[in-house]
Structure 1
């Protein structure tokens, strides 16, 4: 792989979008990263190049959101996520990623459409109360998130399906999600090393993109901290819908 103008023309926008997402602006932006990079390299290599960058982004995001977290929700989600990553590692060569993308896309689209329908149906000033914690649903969607994150870099929508209805404060939501995905990405380093994806060529490409990653992540965090809940949640549901439509498109046969 040559680090030429074509590589940077695709990689810089890809990393910038993922950085804004890591800063807190939602998973739809992150889903654009690997497809853009795949314009100039094989998709598997694009995913491998992105993982070290994601780790650095996670470190910046963790520092930016160090004062905000929801420990209860995080602890409910992490066991399932670890199981999902393990299943992904064991079955990555068996289950087609497109089948998983299609399933996640359909579930997420229905989830988002229900939210906007409920918002449209509700009377002025009336809001839907937050959903209570549910250990079973947390396990199901976090396992799906961990699996999707490993095999298709699409862990955001299943995570949002469970967490958004809890209606956490936007800062708490973002701080907890940053921790959740940072832990998952750190754990994913082990199977990626085992699969040989983190060689010197890919690591060199990753290092060349780190300045873009740092700037974009800090910018995303700064924007989210000034968003009100009335703006934040419609934006997040809209991002989830965009992410689902992107996954649906990617799952269709060429």
Structure 2
């Protein structure tokens, strides 16, 4: 295998750098939502498997920094509630990662994201925001999040739907989301490593993206402090809408091609 850093185009680095900055802003300031765009964008230039491998160290580094910032502001009970389902999804993702196309799961996650946006528009979130989701729902969405996260780093929308229903203050929302995905990403890192997906080439590209990671996290942290709770909620749903449309568009093109 030739050096990835010698083969990749300037366009790839520009698109990937922008994706990392947007992901950093989204994760550190608004509880995620736009990170699902990174793998599809990078996959325009490289294989999805390589895209996932390059992003994994970047996402884990983001989580480590953000976890420290929000270490006192997260809901342990909700994270504990989500982890069993996520573990099931991660296991299924690990078993199918080598051969299963991610397009069908991207389509499902995209539809789910738009469903939650529709709920918000029609006022359903206000009605149910503080009512706990059923155990079966939490297990199912947690598993979908774990599976989509493993195969495409696209596990955000299912979990956002559950978190948004809890009516949490924005700082606790971001902290809870961060802690959950830190646990998932740490597990994925071990799994990817054992499966041989990290190479010298992928790690070199990951290292080159570190400055973009820091820029994104800094911008997200600053924006989080100055945006009101109501505006923040609209931002999160806006991110969900954009992510859902992107996932549906990419998956439908691939499925019907």
Structure-1-length-normalised TM-score: 0.90
Task: Give a deviation string over 1:177-196, Cα, whole Å, max 9, x none.
Answer: 01111110100012211222
Task: Give a deviation string over 1:95-139, Cα, whole Å, max 9, x none.
Answer: 4311111122222212211210127xx9xxxx5353322333222
Task: Give a deviation string over 1:133-171, Cα, whole Å, max 9, x none.
Answer: 233322221111111100122100010121111111111
Task: Give a deviation string over 1:19-41, Cα, whole Å, max 9, x none.
Answer: 11221335442122223323332
Matching of residue 132 in structure 1 with residue 137 in structure 2: no
RMSD (CA atoms): 2.0
Matching of residue 98 in structure 1 with residue 114 in structure 2: no
Tell me, yes or no, if the aligned pair for 2:157 and 2:240 is still in contact at 8 Å: yes
- Judge which range, 165-174 or 214-223, deviates more: 214-223
Q: 1:179, 1:108 → 2: CA distance?
A: 21
**Shift in Å, 1:8:** 2.4
Determine the structure 2 residue equivalent to 1:147.
Answer: 147
Q: How many residues align?
A: 248
Q: 1:182, 1:218 → 2: CA distance?
A: 18
Alignment gaps of 5+ in structure 1: none
SS at match of 2:154: coil
Determine the structure 2 residue equivalent to 1:164.
Answer: 164
Tell me, yes or no, if the aligned pair for 1:62 and 1:178 is still in contact at 8 Å: yes
**Shift in Å, 1:4:** 5.6
| Superposition misfits of 4+ residues, deviation over 6 angstroms | none
Determine the structure 2 residue equivalent to 1:196.
Answer: 196
Tell me, yes or no, if the aligned pair for 2:36 and 2:155 is still in contact at 8 Å: no
**Shift in Å, 1:44:** 1.5
Structure-2-length-normalised TM-score: 0.89
Matching of residue 46 in structure 1 with residue 48 in structure 2: no
